[in-house]
Amino acid sequence: MSKRDYYEVLGISKGASADEIKKAYRKMALKYHPDKNPGDKEAEEKFKEAAEAYEVLSDDNKKARYDQYGHAGMGGAGGFGGGFGGGGMNMEDIFSQFGDIFGGQFGGGGFGGGSAQRQQLRGSNLRVRIKLNLEEMVNGTQKTIKVKKMKLAPGATSKTCGTCNGSGVQVKVMNTMFGQMQTQTHCGTCQGIGKVADKIPAGANSQGLIKDDVEVTINIPAGAREGIQLNVRGKGNDAPFGGTPGDLLVVVEEETDSAIKREGDNLHQELYISFAEAALGTQKEIPTVGGKVKIKVDPGTQSGKILRLNGKGLPSIDSYGKGDMFVHVNVWTPQNLSGEQREFFENQLKRGEMVAEPSGKEKTFFDKVRDLFN
């Protein structure tokens, strides 16, 4: 069965604000929460569906990707390198997200009335930066990098906390003028986890974790941009005592290209031609992010002319289509002439040939700038 549109799931328009998205999710989550609908599989599926929609639409990068490519851009449970799209969410993830939205009012998947619940153990996230060249950003690529992360040390074991017997909570009874009051708090021994370290190998920390280098493969989608953050689920630091690993957050940086300069989705490069080529016209082969292409330079081309190659720029991450490539033509003036070349130009000057004779149709600098945006 095909997935429903995320905006339809939450009952909002595509232009909904972040606050409207959050309110819509809150409404759906309250309506279909399992505690309100015990044993109702349809309600449970709608609860998961709403959480999946919120996970994508509440993140600017994921939302932009979804708006451009729809569910196809999510890559199933993967999306950007396996990091988003609710296909990979479990109920633990959803309840954690649910608790975040409602300010911790609910815990562990139930309406707990504010009582302490056993904490779900999760490793911390890691953040790394990765450099991409223009071709990799346009076409997408796969990178394998080394990440220094916390891992569960071989031989490390845990045992049930003896203070709370694995519940993660301690019950306290207080006598008041209204009678006895019972409250629950996180266990002070295990910090609400329910487990404590049993055997800790040499070199590991108090939670049985060691720092080690791990290779991680990252799938970079086409159209990635400087500053965009990709989420690789489960590749962050391990959690102690067999909990859920954190995520690896990958921030994209753009490598500077020696020939091609980027301006938004458009690309620019300089092309130098000789006097003879400018006067007679020529064909030149230039590099683009999609490979080399041949362009025609018309006879009588003036220095400063800008040639526009439609669709040879970067794919837009916010909409369909691509930017353009702008080739800035410069007529190269030789600085060291041979005797024969000097004699040729001197003869041209004597005969009054090859002199500057503007026709009045030449474009000014401001005309050229205006043309770039038309």
Residues making up the annotated binding site for Zn(2+) are 161, 164, 187, 190
- Supply φ then ψ for residue 217, to 5 degrees: -95, 130
Q: Tell me, what amino acid is at 272?
A: Y
Q: Which residues pair with 214 in a beta bridge?
A: 147
State the alpha helices, DSSP H only, in the chain: 6-10, 18-32, 41-57, 60-69, 91-101, 134-139, 275-280, 339-350, 365-372
* Encoded tokens for 81: 């390198």
CB atoms within 10 A of CB 356: 4
CB atoms within 10 A of CB 321: 10
Return binding residues.
Answer: 161, 164, 187, 190
Q: Residue 10 in contact with residue 53, Cβ under 8 Å?
A: yes
Q: Tell me, what amino acid is at 2?
A: S
User: Nearest 10 degrees: CA dihedral of 266, 259, 142, 128?
Assistant: -90
DSSP string, 141-170: EEEEEEEEEEEEPTT-EEEE-TTTTTSSEE
Residues whose CB is less than 8 angstroms from the CB of residue 334 and which lie 6 or more positions away in sequence, other chains included? 274, 275, 341
26 by Cβ neighbours in 10 Å (0-12 / 13-18 / 19+) ranks as middle
- Supply φ then ψ for residue 77, to 5 degrees: -85, 5
Query: Which residue carries 């600017």 as its tokens?
Result: 60
DSSP-based three-state secondary structure for 138: helix
Separation CA 331–CA 314 (nearest Å): 27
DSSP-based three-state secondary structure for 296: strand
Separation CA 9–CA 48 (nearest Å): 11
Q: Tell me, what amino acid is at 115?
A: S
